[in-house]
Amino acid sequence: MGPIIILMFVGLILLLAEIFLLPGFIVGSLGLCSFGAACWLGFEKGGQLGGTVAIIVSIALITAFVVWGFRSSTWKKVSLSTNIDSHTNETPAQNGIEPGVHLTTSTRLAPKGMARTETGVLVEVHSLDGLIDPGSEVEVVFVEADKISVKQLKNQ
């Protein structure tokens, strides 16, 4: 009787592991095989009555497990309940970047790099003039989707 109970307990543990830890059918199949081995052992050791009791107990345990698993309150305890309120980078238009706006380079533009707006927003820009040193003043020539193309101001 002891090995039958142990096999059923192992089967339940494997089914729980299948759902919460290792999804992918293999561990759950081993759990069902453990229940099958418990039923077979029930027939082997206890005859027809022992096998029938093992099958009924197995079906009852699996049914109770499924009913418990499909209750909504069960999944509320393990599910993530936070909302994501972050957003992606703002578009150049939202940052006030349009043709003619002056920026200051924060990194070397070779030909891409970073520049700051007058309000302090850091954006990625593309140089039309090739290499531009950090700290140089640049002017936005055109904005295409999220790509900001700039040229160096001549007075530097």
> Which of residues 25, 54, 74 is at a domain's end?
74
Give yes or no for residue 7 having a pLDDT over 90. yes
Q: How confident is the model at residue 145 (pLDDT cuts 50, 70, 90)?
A: confident
**Domain-located, residue 82:** no
pLDDT for the residue numbered 119: 86
Average per-residue pLDDT in the chain?
Answer: 87
**Which residue range(s) make up the domain with 120?**
102-152
Return the pLDDT at 69: 76
Q: Is the pTM of this model over 0.75?
A: no
The answer to whether residue 140 sits within a structural domain is yes
Are 15 and 65 within one domain?
Answer: yes
DSSP string computed for 107-153: S-BSSEEEEE-TT--EEEEEESSS-B-TT-EEEEEEEETTEEEEEE-
Give the per-residue pLDDT at 89.
Answer: 67
**CATH number, domain containing residue 113:** 2.40.50.140
Q: Are 9 and 54 in the same domain?
A: yes
Q: Count structural domains, the chain.
A: 2
**Dihedral pair phi/psi, residue 40, rounded to 5°:** -60, -45
On the CB side of 96, CA atoms within 13 Å amount to 10
**Does 121 reside within a domain?**
yes
Q: How far, in Å, CA of 35 to CA of 61, rounded?
A: 10
Domain contains 62: yes
Asked if pLDDT for residue 14 goes beyond 70, the answer is yes
Residue count (the chain): 156
Q: With respect to residue 92, please indicate whether it lies within any of the assigned structural domains.
A: no
For the stretch 111-136, pLDDT in tens is 899 999 988 888 999 999 889 999 99
Residue 144 lies in a domain: yes
pLDDT of res. 72: 67
Asked if residue 90 belongs to a domain, the reply is: no
CA distance 149 to 143: 6
Give the confidence band of 149 by pLDDT, cuts at 50, 70, 90: very high
Tell me, what's the pLDDT at 155?
A: 66
**Do 64 and 110 belong together in one domain?**
no
**pLDDT single digits (tens) 52-104:** 999 999 999 988 888 887 776 777 777 777 887 766 667 777 778 889 999 99
| 95 domain-assigned | no
